[in-house]
Chain A
Amino acid sequence: MVETAIHDIVIVGGGAAGLRAAIAATEIDPEASIALVSKVYPMRSHTVSAEGGAAAVAREDDSFEMHGYDTVKGSDFLGDQDAIRYFVEQAPRELTLLEHWGCPWSRNEDGTVATRAFGGMSTKRTWYAADKVGFHMLHALFQHSLRFENIARYDEHFATKLLVDDGTARGVAALDIRSGRVRVVLGRAVILATGGAGKIFPFTTNGNIKTGDGMALAYRAGVALKDMEFVQYHPTGLPGTGILITEATRGEGGHVINADGERFLATRDYGVGTKAELGPRDMISRAIIQEIEAGRGISGPYGEYVHLDLRHLGEAKIVARLPMVREIAKIYAGVDPVHEPIPIRPVVHYMMGGVDTDIGAATSLPGLYAAGEVAAVSINGSNRLGSNSLTECLVFGASAGHNALAFAKDSSAGSEDALRRQGEEEAARIEALRGKQTGGEKLSRIRADLHRAMESGCGVYRTGETMDATVRAVAELKERYADVALEDSSAVFNTELVAALEMGNMLDTAEAVAHSAASRNESRGAHTRRDAPSRDDQNFLYHTLCHFDPAGPRLSKADVTLGHWEPEERKY
C-alpha cells in the first residue's frame, strides 16, 4: 500500500519556476493546498548557480517593442511572437515583485534598480545582483514561500511517474529518497518545473540534478517535446569542469582573445558585427570553435580553449560587479582574473527545447502545465538570449500557478483507487530496479558512452552522419540500460537508485534531442550543420515536435506564431 496525499495542485520542482508557481497559486487562494515535490531541498535547485542577471524593460530608452524584437531576433525567428510579447510585458512586473520580496538587486546611486548590458540585447535591461542573481532570486523566492503554510513541501522526493486518470494529469508517484518508499501525491492539476537536461552532455555548466526528469515524465505520458534539437552552448565555461563564467563578464567589458591575444570577435567576421563580445551566445560559441579549429586555440589538459580577459576592467570593478567570478576562477581554474586571463570554451548550458506548452503554460494533456527551462513555449526559439531565462521562470511560473489552480478548481478529482494502483505499479518497478543484481552493464559506463555520443553528434557543429550515429547510439544505450546492474540494495537514501532512475530520464531526453536534430536539415540558432549551413525559412520555419513511441519517436511539425516581426537575415 503506497501512502497517498491529496492536494489541489502538485508542483514538481522547487527552483525559480516551481516556487513562483506555488506563490502565484497562493496569491489567488491562500487556502489552496499546494504540494511542492522536489528531489532536492529547494535552495539546492540549479537556479542557484545562475550568475548574470534577469532581463526586463526598466529604462526610459527601452520599450517592450525593443525587448521583444531582440528576443525574436535572438531566437533566429523561431520564437512564438505572441508568447514573446506576453513575456516582455510581464517581465518588469515579475522582477518588481522579486524586489518586494527581498531580492537584493544591485542599485544605481539614486536607489533605482541597476541594469547591465547583455548578449544580444540592444540596450541595458538586465537587472542583476552582483554576479549571483540566481542565488539571490532563489533564496528570496524560497524564503518568501516560507510565509505560506498552505504550501506543503515534499523535500527529497523524486517524482518518477506522472499519474493520469481519464485523460487528465492528476498527480505523481514520487520516491521518498530518505525512506525508499514511494508516495502518491495527488492534485487536480500538475505543474512540471524541473529544469533542463545538461547532464546528458559531458561538459556542462549544469549541476548533477539536471537530468531531464520533467521532460521525460511528460514525454512518457504522451506529451510532445518541442524543439529539442536546440541546445545552448554557453561560450564561456571552464574547460574540464564546465563551470559557468557569466556573460556578465562580457557585459562589463571583458574581451575574448585567442592564442595570439587577438580579440577575434571584433577583428574577424563572425556575424556579431560591432557587438563583438556582446553578440548572441550561439554565434560566439561557433566563433570560438572555429578559432580553435583554425589552430588559434590554446592547448590544455582538457582540450583546446581560448581566453577571457578581464584584466583591463581593474580590480575595483571586478570586486564590485564580478566577485563570484573571481572566486570561481581562483578556486576552479587556478587564476586570478585581476592579473591573468581565464581559460574558457563553449559548454552546454541550457535547453531551448522542452515540454510543448502554450502562453498559459498548458500542455496538450489536460491538467498538465510546465514552466521554466523544462518547457518550450516557445519564447527562446532556436537560441536564447542571456538573462531571459530567469525572467521566463517567473513569468511562466506565475502563469502556470494561476492557470493550474483555475483548472483544478473547475475540475473533479480523479479516481483515487485507479491512481493509487498506478502508484503501486510504479513502486514495484522501482523496487525491481533497486540493487538489481542481474545484468552486465555498469551505470557509469552507460553515462560515459551517452556523453560521448551526445558530444559527437549534438555538439556546436553537427553533420547528418554524426547525428545519425548518435541516434543509433542512444537506441543502443537504451537497450543496455535495461541490462544495468546495481550494487546498492539499501532502502534508506539510496543515491545509486536515484542515479539509475535519472539515467532512464536522460536517455529519453537524449533520444528526443538526437532525433529532432537529425530531422532538421538547416542551420538555425544553436543548431548548426556543416552540411546545411544556411537557414531555410522556406522549408524549416516550424517547431519540431517529438512524441514518444515504443517503436521509435514520431516527429511532426508545429507552426511558429509570427505576425509582428518578419523573419530577416540575422546580422548584428
Chain B
Amino acid sequence: MGDDRRKKTFVISRFDPDRDDAPRAQSYEIAVEPDWKVLDALNYIKDEVDGTLSHRWSCRMAVCGSCGMMVDGEPRLTCKEAISDYGDTVEIAPLANFPIVRDLVIDSDGFMEKLKSVKPWIIRAKQLAAEEGPLRQSPAELEEFKQFSMCINCMLCYSACPVVANEPEFIGPAAIALGHRYSLDSRDEGAAERNEIFRGPGTVFSCSFANECSEVCPKHVDPAAAVNQAKLNAVVDWALRLILPRRGGE
C-alpha cells in the first residue's frame, strides 16, 4: 500500500459578515502528505473540499508575509509550518488582535497606518542626485541596522503583543523596529525626528517587556531589541537636548 498519508482534522475559524454574527469553527478531515506545510493543507481544502474558505497567501517561501495565521493558538507563517510538527487536530484561526474581515483574513490597514507613522524612509537635509553616485557605507555600518531591515511585515508580532491587544494607539513592534532601522542607517539624518516621535504617546514607552514579538518573529528581527534600544535613544536624545543647544538643520 505504501500509504504515507495520514488523516488530520483541521478546525478552522470561519466568518462571513453577511451571514454570521460572529466567527464559528468548522472542521475538515483530510488526508495529508508527510511533507506538506500547513498552507498546503489549507489550499487543498479550498481547492478540493470547500471553495468558500478565504485565506491570504502568495510566495509560499516565507518572504512575502501574506500567510500569517494562528495555528494551535500561536501566530505562525502557515507556509513555513510543517504539518508533521502538529498533532491529529490542528486549529487555525485568523491573527489575534486584528479585526476579522472574513474567515482567516484580517484587516491590515491599521498596520499600514502605524508603519507609516515612524517616517520609514531615508531622511536627509539635502536630497542626493543620482549623478553623485552611491553613498559609501562600510560593512560594519551595514551590520548596525541590517537585522532590523529583515522584517517582512507579516504582523505575527502584533498578534503576540499583549500591549497591542489592549492599547489601540500603540504603534507596535514592527513599526518601531522599522523606524529604528532607519535611524541606525548611516545614510539617514532623521534620528532626531524619530526620537521625537518615539517620545510621543503610543510609541516605545508603551512596551512593557513581554518580548513575545521577538519570540514569534519568523525572520529573527528581534523587534523587542529595537523597541528597547529606541527607548534608551529617545531618553538620551531628550537629555542631550536639555544640556546642549539644538544642533543645526532642524
Q: When chains A and B are docked, how far (Å) is the Cα of A295 from the Cα of B133?
A: 51
Interchain Cβ contacts under 8 Å between A and B, 19 examples: A44-B65, A44-B66, A45-B64, A93-B131, A100-B134, A102-B182, A104-B146, A104-B149, A104-B185, A111-B138, A135-B152, A207-B59, A240-B35, A328-B62, A490-B16, A492-B18, A492-B101, A492-B102, A496-B54
Interface contacts beyond A105-B134, A107-B137: sample of 12 additional A-B pairs, CB < 8 Å, sorted by A: A44-B59, A44-B66, A46-B58, A49-B59, A97-B130, A100-B134, A102-B187, A104-B145, A106-B142, A207-B60, A209-B58, A490-B16
Q: Which of B62, B64, B135, B182 has the most CB of A within 10 A?
A: B64
- Residues in B neighbouring A104, C-beta threshold 8 A: 142, 145-146, 149, 185
In the complex, how many angstroms separate the beta carbon of A238 from the nearest chain B beta carbon?
9
- Residues in A neighbouring B61, C-beta threshold 8 A: 49, 207, 241, 243-244, 328, 332
Q: Mark A108-122, 1 if CB is under 8 A from B, else 0.
A: 111111000000000
Q: When chains A and B are docked, how far (Å) is the Cα of A40 from the Cα of B58?
A: 9
Q: Is the CB of B80 within 8 A of A496?
A: no
Assess whether B245 is interfacial by the CB under 8 Å rule: no
Among the 9-residue stretches B44-52, B156-164, B205-213, B229-237, the one with 4 or more Cβ atoms under 8 Å from chain A is: B44-52
Assess whether A99 is interfacial by the CB under 8 Å rule: yes
Q: Is the CB of A178 within 8 A of B101?
A: yes
Assess whether B23 is interfacial by the CB under 8 Å rule: no
Which A residue sits closest to B120, measured CB to CB?
Answer: A143
Q: Which of A78-117 contact B (CB under 8 A)?
A: 93, 95-97, 99-102, 104-113
Q: Is the CB of A491 within 8 A of B18?
A: yes
Assess whether A274 is interfacial by the CB under 8 Å rule: no
Assess whether B110 is interfacial by the CB under 8 Å rule: no
Total chain B interface residues with beta-carbon distance under 8 A: 61
- Residues in B neighbouring A147, C-beta threshold 8 A: 121
- Residues in B neighbouring A113, C-beta threshold 8 A: 134
Q: Is the CB of A109 within 8 A of B138?
A: yes
Q: Which of B51, B133, B185 has the most CB of A within 10 A?
A: B51
Which B residue sits closest to A500, measured CB to CB?
Answer: B51
- Residues in A neighbouring B136, C-beta threshold 8 A: 110-112
Q: Mark B1-36, 1 if CB is under 8 A from A, else 0.
A: 000000000000000111100000000000000010
Interfacial residues, chain B to chain A (CB-CB below 8 A): 16-19, 35, 46-48, 50-52, 54-66, 80, 101-103, 105, 108-109, 112, 115-116, 120-122, 127-128, 130-131, 133-139, 141-142, 145-146, 149-150, 152-153, 178, 182, 185, 187-188
Q: When chains A and B are docked, how far (Å) is the Cα of A107 from the Cα of B187?
A: 14
- Residues in A neighbouring B102, C-beta threshold 8 A: 490, 492-493
- Residues in A neighbouring B48, C-beta threshold 8 A: 444
Which A residue sits closest to B128, measured CB to CB?
Answer: A100
- Residues in B neighbouring A327, C-beta threshold 8 A: 62
Q: Is the CB of B137 within 8 A of A143?
A: no
Q: Is the CB of B122 within 8 A of A101?
A: yes
- Residues in B neighbouring A40, C-beta threshold 8 A: 58, 66
5 shortest interchain CB distances as A-B pairs:
A111-B136, A487-B51, A493-B102, A444-B47, A488-B52
Assess whether A208 is interfacial by the CB under 8 Å rule: yes
Q: Is the CB of A496 within 8 A of B128?
A: no
Which B residue sits closest to A105, measured CB to CB?
Answer: B134
In the complex, how many angstroms separate the beta carbon of B154 from the nearest chain A beta carbon?
10
Q: Is the CB of B59 within 8 A of A99?
A: no
Assess whether A20 is interfacial by the CB under 8 Å rule: no
Assess whether A558 is interfacial by the CB under 8 Å rule: no
- Residues in A neighbouring B62, C-beta threshold 8 A: 327-328, 331
